């Protein structure tokens, strides 16, 4: 079956602009996670959704970052007033339930100029 | 909070040689343990996981790992590697009973040479 998909695969933007990154989880998966992977580092947790609600947003670095999952399926990560330090690969993962194996998408590579 | 240390950033080996990728973790609560692999230009793929039970865990592609609670380690091993095993390997933990968010190490780049 289809895996986790993320769009766009690459995004180049200018400092100060607003960006949206989309994640389509595996059909039927209720848990959805966002991670950020900077160059030479392992992925770092940003936010976790169980259904439509953000159950754990402790990893969001500041209030410029926001994520939604209005219908409990597709999720959008939104970054306002982008900074050069936001440049990274943003990964999305989903699982059938909290605690089950997380399946990762290919990521969106964000470059802020 | 949890943390993961992968002791080697790069490991070069020859084809058909054995390999061990080291992982140590720190946590004040019980954890689940994972190894993920990232092939070039691909997403993260689960190799194996330890949730409970036998401390020796077998995964895909001939990899295995052993959970050692006293040494807080979860080292990954393969008795004979192939060129196709060249990839980045990440060790990760999650706290039992929490949101199950994964805390990753910085990764180990395994390069298998002919």
pLDDT tens, B56-111? 999 999 999 999 999 999 999 999 999 999 999 999 999 887 767 999 999 999 99
Helix/strand/coil for B101? coil
Question: Distances in Å between the alpha carbon of B106 and those of A37, A80, B23, B90?
Answer: 10, 27, 10, 7
Percent over 70 (pLDDT), chain B: 98
Nearest to B104 among A42, A56, A99 (CB): A42
- How much is the pLDDT for B108? 97
Contact A43, A99 (CB under 8 A): no
Question: Nearest Cα to B43, choosing from A90, A1, A26?
Answer: A90
- How much is the pLDDT for A1? 56
Q: Would you call A43 and B46 a contact, using CB atoms and an 8 Å cutoff?
A: no
Percent over 90 (pLDDT), chain B: 81
Backbone angles phi, psi at B83, to 5 degrees: -55, -40
Nearest to A106 among B42, B99, B101 (CB): B42
Alpha-carbon A47 to chain mean position: 8
Which string of DSSP letters, residue by residue, matches A39-94?
A: TTS--EEEEEEETTEEEE-TT--STTEEEE-TTSS-EEEEESS--GGG-EEEEEEE
pLDDT tens, A1-19? 589 999 999 999 999 999 9
Cα–Cα distance measured from residue A78 to residue A22, given in angstroms and rounded to the nearest whole number: 9
- How much is the pLDDT for A105? 95
User: Averaged over A54-74, what is the pLDDT?
Assistant: 94
Cα–Cα distance measured from residue B22 to residue B110, given in angstroms and rounded to the nearest whole number: 12
Nearest CA in chain B to A39: B106
Size of interface A-B (CB pairs under 8 A): 57
Cα–Cα distance measured from residue B79 to residue B28, given in angstroms and rounded to the nearest whole number: 33
Cβ-based interface (< 8 Å): residues of A facing B? 3-4, 31, 33, 35, 40-45, 48, 55-56, 59, 91, 93, 95, 98-99, 101-107
């Amino acid at each position: 079956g289809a895996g986790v998909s993320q769009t766009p695969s690459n995004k180049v933007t200018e400092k100060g602009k607003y960006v949206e990154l989309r994640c389509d989880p595996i059909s039927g998966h209720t848990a959805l996670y966002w991670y950020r992977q900077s160059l030479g580092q392992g992925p770092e947790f940003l936010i976790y959704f169980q259904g439509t609600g953000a159950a754990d947003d402790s990893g969001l670095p500041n209030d410029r970052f926001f994520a939604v999952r209005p219908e409990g399926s597709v999720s959008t990560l939104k970054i306002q007033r982008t900074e050069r330090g936001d440049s990274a690969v943003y990964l999305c993962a989903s699982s059938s339930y909290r605690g089950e194996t997380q399946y990762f998408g290919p990521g969106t590579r964000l470059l802020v100029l | 909070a949890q943390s993961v240390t992968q002791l080697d950033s790069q490991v070069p080996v020859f084809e058909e040689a054995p390999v061990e990728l080291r992982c140590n973790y720190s946590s004040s609560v019980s954890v689940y343990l994972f190894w993920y692999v990232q092939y070039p230009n691909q997403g993260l793929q689960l190799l194996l996981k330890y949730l409970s039970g036998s401390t020796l865990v077998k995964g895909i592609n001939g990899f295995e790992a052993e959970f050692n609670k006293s040494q807080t380690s979860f080292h990954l091993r393969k008795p004979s590697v192939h060129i196709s095993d060249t990839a980045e390997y990440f060790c990760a933990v999650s706290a039992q009973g929490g949101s199950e968010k994964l805390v990753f190490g910085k990764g180990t780049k395994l390069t298998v040479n002919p």
